[in-house]
Structure 1
């Protein structure tokens, strides 16, 4: 999206594989053709970063720090990108959406545009069906709160139209900024609580898997099955 508006910006990378591309917060300036207004575009890393050692807490911390810099930044608009080519919204995407909603805050939903991308990868009728389902289910709370859906289906023309809408919005302070300014730690913010809850669930799942492996190894030991013991030991070390 940002690359369309700023094609000469070499710091913005487009991801075509499973490896995360955006490492840190990246900003660039787009000069609006209508009135020559300089608009700062902000590209943030996504949650569930594919790089080893990078956690959702790290990503949330980077976003929060950026928002709090310079005495606190206000945003005219927040864009949530969703690939219409994805056949369904899985558990990870739903969790990321929960973090996004808590990060922004319900009173700021009117400044949000949910932008669907990858329309060239789906049949139009199928894309229309998915869009309708998303508006009735996953994105309904945002839409009910004032957010609007837009299609990124005409390349640069679509991107310019979306930016043109958002530049007219009254700048807002996000919920996470208000919570941090009130003295909360990152983990105690509403968005941080969602991330922490997910991390605890993952830890519990991992601990159960280890316990199951331990029990299987004990059974294999009692059965004197050395080959199975070796396989389970290898699995436990992964």
Structure 2
């Protein structure tokens, strides 16, 4: 039976590059700063020591073209399908560029989401992969300082549950990382149990709670923006300028459209109950 490993992280964190190095070929489309290319979950297979491992490159929540709710639906559908086929996950590789000077808001959201999706019992299957370590060779002290900060703060809940770390250094295939995945016991993630065994909708899962909070914050922000535009258009000074009124009405329509999309996404997440509905 195949070993399953999911590779996660922000766009540009080195996910696809890492998979390229693991399989020893350049077959995976690599994300870059102008366009997010990882719009679907891409799978590649490696045979190592007569054992097959399938690596899945999953989109992140900072994806340029995919809203968070859509990314969640894709990941949930994929994990649910694995579980229904009795195929279990060995490892979750979380890619983080070591030369990043700070953990972004989307990184923090993704870590919270991942912790809830995986569940406390399966955090031991997480391997934090520090990518692009070769960029820091000139300053080992700075690299050690950043690693120490990550271990003390954002990664602490995972490491306390026996999650591990791996530093991707050099150009060669990271066989030691592959060995770490193979040594990991297969596990059932909390999201899989909630969707299949407990028949919850996506919105009512633990991981879905993070998406719900984020969407509700977006709705609140957009409603405030819409109210501000409506007040501005009622201002006597504004109404004297027809072109300005037209521009504000255009912005109002755009905000309304965004608001409807976010609200409809929330509704759709509360309807996801089986594989056929995604």
Q: Same fold (TM over 0.5)?
A: yes
How has the CA–CA distance of structure 1 residues 118 and 9 changed in structure 2, closer, same or farther, with 3 Å as cutoff?
Answer: closer
1:137 to partner: Cα distance? 0.8
How has the CA–CA distance of structure 1 residues 74 and 57 changed in structure 2, closer, same or farther, with 3 Å as cutoff?
Answer: same
The 5 Å alignment of 1:61-140 reads 61-69=73-81, 70-122=84-136, 123-140=139-156
Alignment root-mean-square deviation, CA: 2.2
Q: In the alignment, does 2:156 pair up with 1:149?
A: no
Paired position in structure 2 for 1:163: 178
Paired position in structure 2 for 1:175: 190
With normalisation by structure 2, the TM-score equals 0.76
What is the CA deviation profile of residues 126-182 of structure 1, one whole-angstrom value per residue up to 9, with x for unaligned ones? 22222111111111111111111221123334x221111120111001110011121
Q: CA separation in 1, counterparts of 2:163 and 2:33?
A: 29
- Asked if structure 1 preserves the Cα contact closer than 8 Å seen for 2:21 and 2:171, the reply is yes
SS at match of 1:76: strand
Gaps of 5+ in 2: 1-17, 255-278
SS at match of 2:144: helix
Aligned pairs, number: 232
Gaps of 5+ in 1: none
What is the CA deviation profile of residues 53-105 of structure 1, one whole-angstrom value per residue up to 9, with x for unaligned ones? x2222222222222222524211111111122221112221111111111111
- Asked if structure 1 preserves the Cα contact closer than 8 Å seen for 2:125 and 2:184, the reply is yes
